[in-house]
Structure 1
Amino acid sequence: MFGPKLLTPGTTSGLLPEVLSPESFTTQTCKIWFTHAPILEAYIAAPMAAQTGRLFLTRSIGATGVTPVSSRLLSWDPNNGAILKSTDQGNTWTVAPLPFKVGGNMPGRGNGERLAVDPNNSNIIYYGATGDASGTFGLWKSTNGGSSWSQVNSFTAVGDWVENPNDANGYLTAKQGIWWVTFDPRTVVGGVTQNIYVGVATKNAPRIYRSTDGGSNWSALGGQPLTECGGTGIIPTKAAIEPVSGTMYVSYGMASGPYDDEKGEVWKYNISSAAWTNINPLVNDCQPPGGGNIFFGFNGLSVSKSNPNVIMVTGHSSWWPDTYIFRSTNGGATWTNIWHWTRYPSIAYEIVYPHDITMSPWLKFPAAPVCSGSGGGRPGPVENPKIGWMTAALAIDPFNTNNFLYGTGATLYGTSDANLWDDASTSTPFHISVKGNGIEETSVTDLAVPPSGPKLLSGVGDIRGFYHSNVTTVPSTQYQVLTSTNSLDFAQGVPAKVVRAGNGDSSNCEKSFAYSTDGGQTWKMVGGQPTGVTGSNNDSVAMSADGTRVIWAPNGTTAAYTSTNWTAASPTWTAITGLPAQAKVRADRVTANKFYGFASGVFYVSTNGTSFSATVSSGLPITAKLVTVYNKANDIWLVSPDPTTGGVWHSTNGGASFTKLTSVSLADGVGFGAPATGQPYPAIYLAGQVGSTRGFYRSVDGGASWSQINDSNHNWYYSGFVITGDPNQYGRVYIATNGRGIIYGDGP
């Protein structure tokens, strides 16, 4: 075992769909838990004091330890979802398979909670399923603590809301199904809660249903709001029952979120009188502060357990000028926002709190380029760092109303002095700071370890990537350009030269290719790029060993391209002959102008960087990753995770022929580090399956034998993007995960 650690940034850098603070947990056990997209769709803790430590999770699309599917392949995982259960506060887990898929990174992932434990009987659990283009999967129930599940056939409501039925990729065509389940804990008979409420994603029927007999029968809740400010219908995104007053609070929006929503509302329902009251936080019910239309929906609903008059809710889909967070101390009669307009529309808004990002300084996003002559858009600049965006998750501490946490599209924030927000007589501001230390959700797409300069260069989805000067200090900033990095490379002989390909923000005139001349510390966008380039997950980039040429296989084009003047104001990109578009490309780490390519089971070689020839067209997998070895000319490795045709192939003659390793049945990634003492070949690090065991391995004898370097408790979900050693330090390994950040370890 290599003693794995979480590499900085080490703080959440992805959407947090839910923040939960279990009422029965003490600070000595487990007070706060989170769900992380895209790994998990739902999380809940059994709220009974007698069941402290019982946790439940749903595992989403992509969650498979047998046949993980890279998001770069633009494929859906064929496996169904599952409910994960722990009875020891998350130390160990059991899995109950579901007969359908669940989607932790799908539209509507911030709504709910879909997974709900009966507060009076933790053996009874409900799960509101999503659907697909053909239908929804309904309401599901377990009566044995999550070990097995069956559909509640008496619940017939259909959550048929679809974000975009015309989406060509299918991502937005899934029916949203059931968004939330909540219990009235006062209504207990025979140890089972009787009154249960379910929120359904639809605009064609009632949205909220209730059972008064423990889930046997269901009916639509009377008088519920169905339309919003001049629109076509609102959908309940979250609900919370306050048992002292017997009130159910419900937040609404018009769409799934978390990216887009509008015309939100907040209502409360008096359970005993069946009366609905609109408690919209906006001064004018259909108009946000400063005027205009309600361009956001509400979510992040939380009611204090220690003071039932304290309620909070977020305008989760508001991006400009910032998200909205509203707080009420009188049950929703009046509200205050976390920021205030000073004038409109000149985007002068007053922040009423100090905003501490010391723990994650990279949250101060680099300034975006200015589009020449683009016109339109919102005036600026906006506050940086922002309060957040996609703020679907918020929780008030059940033990202390002064504390709350909320999740954003970038991190977890919180405060412990919200009483200063509530106190209108004081001018002392409350404080918000990053609370995400040790929580990681980053999708890491590429890693590189140059022979000099940084300890590591990382490519990351959504937050560009980082120059890691060491592994224990949080980087002060992200890369300056490209929203996401899909591929990066440096010149082995001139490591100050680095290039990246990825997704640029076209609204800010960003290109999809960037370069650095100082080892990755600062970046510039390329002055021009080939016609037809579109950002995607398929880009592949390589730089020659001497740093004089780059090859780029961008998405959206009909060819791969090469350039020798990519730093010029108007660079020349020449179409490469003999190499398919979107092929994977790598440079030989020793021989200048020698490059390799791979696509659809065929291996290609170029000795001039402008034309390629196929060398091997049989016996190789259809899809594979291509890796070349530092300081070794003509040394190439191919790895494939295909369960039937996968494995590892090695060439030492520049791709003229390959030998398949018989000891490895499939592999997600391979990388190289400093050799062991007395060994001529670099240490090899592998994410794959040796024999019958999936895991992470090291070989110090060129792949002849393998030693596993992890155990069954350290698989990090899915790590099929990249694994690499450190050529400067024997025993060091870096593992790029899709949802757990960068793991590193040091071994003997």
Structure 2
Amino acid sequence: MRRSHLGAVVSALLVAAAVVATPFTAAGAPAAAAESYTWKNVRIDGGGFVPGIVFNPTEKDLIYARTDIGGMYRWEQARQSWTPLLDWVGADRWGWNGVVSVATDPVQTNRVYAAVGMYTTGWDPDNGAILRSADRGATWQATELPFKNGGNMPGRGMGERLAVDPNRNSILYYGAEGGNGLWRSTDFGATWAKVTNFPNVGNYRADPSDPNGYNGQNQGLTWVSFDRSTGTAGTATQTVYVGVADKENPVYRSTNGGASWERIAGQPTGYLAHKGVVDPVGGFLYIATSDTGGPYDGGKGDVWRFDRATGAWTRISPVPSTSTDAYFGYSGLTIDRQRPNTLMVATQTSWWPDAIFWRSTDGGATWTRIWEFTSYPNRSKRYTMDVSSVPWLTFGSNPAPPEEAPKLGWMNESVEIDPHDSNRFLYGTGATIYGSTDLTRWDAGDQFTIRPMVKGLEETAVLDLVSPPSGAPLISALGDIGGFRHTDLDAVPPMMFTQPNFTSTTSLDYAETKPAVLVGPATSPTRTAPTTATSRSPLTAGRPGSRAPSRPASTAAARSPRRPTAAGSSGRRATPASGWCTRSGSAPRGPRRRASRPTRPSSPTGSTRTSSTPSPAACSTSAPTAGRASPPRPPPACPPPATSSSRRCPAGRASCGWPARAGCGAPPTPGPPSPGWRR
């Protein structure tokens, strides 16, 4: 029997004219009618794509993370956990849970900014906004923009698009998507005006013919970076770099504080610059490029260094795009600010056998790789992984070498070395945030340890919940990672559903007289037609090795204390529906939520929260979902590489369903968006 879903979300009002808005103020915990409930998150720890991690360059341990539909977070060093900052977002502005960029102020470090908005298509009826806070996200004011932002659109891993002038921090720039150009604020983000003399609004579209428009948007401007050394405190920084989604003109520059702009001469062409990182000490701009905007695909790319003094561009790619070993683009570019010649860069997408990271201590002249093939399929590694705090990150998989579980990750758009501590780095994946606190062991030839650093960041798309009167207090139906049996609401469950193995569980119900018998439809990574299965007890996590790896996906959600249900999701083609059911085969009560395209939900996306009162707790939403949580792998029939040391795509990969045009390890070509599968 279904427990009722919980009530309405407090709405937030904003009145705007053009780009100058009456400030909207929201506290981190909005006022609400008195109630006897105390709310906490049910712990899952992560579960979706984290496209951006931003360290404050002047205050240690001040770190922010953004998600594509799950809001924004601030790191709490003492608790070693993340605090959600956008829980106040209500149903009337649900799209503001999509965060396309974050900027932290290097001068007045309490100031922080976020560019929010979910879709640039009609799926999100509201325009985007720039949020600003003077107390690290405890309260916010907003300026609505005259266009939409796409926190869950293609290219969302590029960035950061929003930047604060490190010398005159009242100045900010925002590089918009959708052909909307470059925008500037001179009053700490309160008002914004278009930079009309910026010459290029971008032209790259992932798929101009996409009938849904999702892949057809102009990905616009991709990042803004200041060269701090070209200004002094209180005066505007003179040199500003801007990335543009234009393969023939990917980087522009101003050398006079934005009075004029120019395409930098001699720049590399043919790829998109995902990242642009300035080294003000050495006078360099580094860019990482890929042949698509990502975050799921990308088969070629390079890393380049621009010398401000000489105007020379130098390709410093660990594996240049001209190499036969190149089957990936680059992203996740970062500099060690304590040692500016030390760089790291990641594959923007390398699905098989795993992501690759490189590290250089000489400005990119030479690189070492995080893992190498020895004799195929064996690999030597400079790292160890410990996922004991979030054990489900193995996805119940026990793959054959050279793959391993857990993976280093996928969709590694944001890799960041702590500017205050060379030993710490964090990086986002399609499922979590990983990090290390002994990174420099890499340089000594020793192994360093990578762990999940994601506690408090709850980013799952909650499609349904039940709280049976006996057994586990909560069973969840989630997008992309199936769901969990939560025996302890304050502990991370050891594994998602693996018997049967679902990509997304879309509804749940149990038999009133036999609550151990449950029913629910789901999408499956392996079934080609709707099926059912019987369950005499609540779904349990499978033993390691019992879960077939699903297509890559991620889940995301923002949290709100009281949530209505909502329908609709986003992204790519769902795998065929399957299900599990009661012995009698009774049909589930919940909707299957399959549609030709996403629909606007009636609430913001939701994570799981429970009440401390004795009554059963159940609150859920279905959500526009995004990214990819579970890692893919090639079908077993795919042959291994021709040589033990080859990094190339195995011969015959295309015949195994992995299109050759997308390069080694690329996922199958997706169809139009529909619920349960996020692209």
Distance 1:513 1:186, change over 3 A: farther
State whether structure 2 residue 63 is matched by structure 1 residue 32: yes
State whether structure 2 residue 258 is matched by structure 1 residue 215: yes
State whether structure 2 residue 233 is matched by structure 1 residue 193: no
State whether structure 2 residue 221 is matched by structure 1 residue 178: yes
1:631 is matched with none
Cα deviation, 1:466-496, whole Å, max 9, x if unaligned, reads: 1101201111111111122222222222222
- What's the offset of the Cα at 1:598? 14
Equivalent position amino acid for 1:129 in 2? A
RMSD over equivalenced CA pairs, Å: 3.3
Give distance in 2, aligned partners of 1:538 and 1:470. Answer: 32
State whether structure 2 residue 55 is matched by structure 1 residue 8: no
2:8 is matched with none
Matched-pair contact (CA < 8 Å) for 1:504–1:511: no
2:322 is matched with 286
Distance 1:75 1:498, change over 3 A: farther
State whether structure 2 residue 331 is matched by structure 1 residue 299: yes
Cα deviation, 1:144-178, whole Å, max 9, x if unaligned, reads: 11111111100021311010112232210111000
Q: 1:118 aligns with which of 150, 165, 171?
A: 165
Query: Which fold has the larger relative contact order, with Cα–Cα distance below 8 Å and residues 6 or more apart in sequence?
Result: 2
Q: How does 1:423-502 map to 2 (within 5 A)?
A: 423-424=444-445, 428-480=446-498, 481-502=501-522
1:364 is matched with 394
Equivalent position amino acid for 2:591 in 1? K
Matched-pair contact (CA < 8 Å) for 1:489–1:541: no
Cα deviation, 1:625-664, whole Å, max 9, x if unaligned, reads: xxxxxxxxxxxxxxx987xxxxxxxxxxxxxxxxxxxxxx
| Structure 2 segments unaligned to the other structure (5+ residues) | 1-34, 70-97, 548-571, 627-679
Equivalent position amino acid for 2:57 in 1? E
* SS of match in other structure, 2:442: helix
Matched-pair contact (CA < 8 Å) for 1:129–1:177: yes
Give distance in 2, aligned partners of 1:509 and 1:362. Answer: 26
2:591 is matched with 584
Q: How does 1:173-572 map to 2 (within 5 A)?
A: 173-188=216-231, 191-203=235-247, 205-226=248-269, 233-282=270-319, 286-287=322-323, 292-343=324-375, 346-367=376-397, 380=401, 382-424=403-445, 428-480=446-498, 481-506=501-526, 515-522=534-541, 536=574, 547-551=583-587
Equivalent position amino acid for 2:68 in 1? A
Give distance in 2, aligned partners of 1:151 and 1:243. Answer: 27
TM-score (norm 2): 0.73
Distance 1:156 1:306, change over 3 A: same
State whether structure 2 residue 103 is matched by structure 1 residue 44: yes
Give distance in 1, aligned partners of 2:360 and 2:236. Answer: 32
Q: How does 1:101-140 map to 2 (within 5 A)?
A: 101-131=148-178, 136-140=179-183
Distance 1:357 1:466, change over 3 A: same
Equivalent position amino acid for 2:302 in 1? E
Cα deviation, 1:481-513, whole Å, max 9, x if unaligned, reads: 11222222222222222233222224x879675
2:74 is matched with none
* SS of match in other structure, 1:255: coil
Matched-pair contact (CA < 8 Å) for 1:482–1:512: no
Give distance in 2, aligned partners of 1:4 and 1:538. Answer: 36
Equivalent position amino acid for 2:236 in 1? V
Cα deviation, 1:128-147, whole Å, max 9, x if unaligned, reads: 1111xxxx111111111111
1:20 is matched with 54
* SS of match in other structure, 1:465: coil
Matched-pair contact (CA < 8 Å) for 1:460–1:486: yes
Give distance in 1, aligned partners of 2:292 and 2:326. Answer: 13
Equivalent position amino acid for 2:118 in 1? I
TM-score (norm 1): 0.66
Give distance in 2, aligned partners of 1:262 and 1:62. Answer: 26
Give distance in 2, aligned partners of 1:109 and 1:641. Answer: 21
| Identity in percent | 38
2:137 is matched with 90
Give distance in 2, aligned partners of 1:733 and 1:584. Answer: 17
Q: In the comparison of the two structures, how many residue pairs are matched?
A: 532
Give distance in 2, aligned partners of 1:512 and 1:300. Answer: 41
Matched-pair contact (CA < 8 Å) for 1:725–1:734: no
Cα deviation, 1:84-131, whole Å, max 9, x if unaligned, reads: 100011110101101111111111111111111111112111111111
| Structure 1 segments unaligned to the other structure (5+ residues) | 64-73, 227-232, 370-378, 526-533, 554-582, 586-596, 600-622, 625-639, 643-667, 669-716, 742-748
Matched-pair contact (CA < 8 Å) for 2:484–2:541: no
Matched-pair contact (CA < 8 Å) for 1:501–1:514: no
- What's the offset of the Cα at 1:420? 1.0
Q: Which moved more, 1:244-253 or 1:181-190?
A: 181-190
Distance 1:419 1:53, change over 3 A: same
Q: 1:168 aligns with which of 201, 211, 231?
A: 211
Matched-pair contact (CA < 8 Å) for 1:163–1:255: yes
Matched-pair contact (CA < 8 Å) for 2:342–2:362: yes
* SS of match in other structure, 2:508: strand
Equivalent position amino acid for 2:203 in 1? D
Matched-pair contact (CA < 8 Å) for 1:311–1:327: yes
* SS of match in other structure, 1:487: coil
Give distance in 1, aligned partners of 2:591 and 2:624. Answer: 23
Give distance in 1, aligned partners of 2:377 and 2:535. Answer: 34
Structure 1 moving runs of 4+ over 6 Å:
508-512, 537-542, 721-726
Matched-pair contact (CA < 8 Å) for 1:446–1:487: yes
Equivalent position amino acid for 1:315 in 2? T
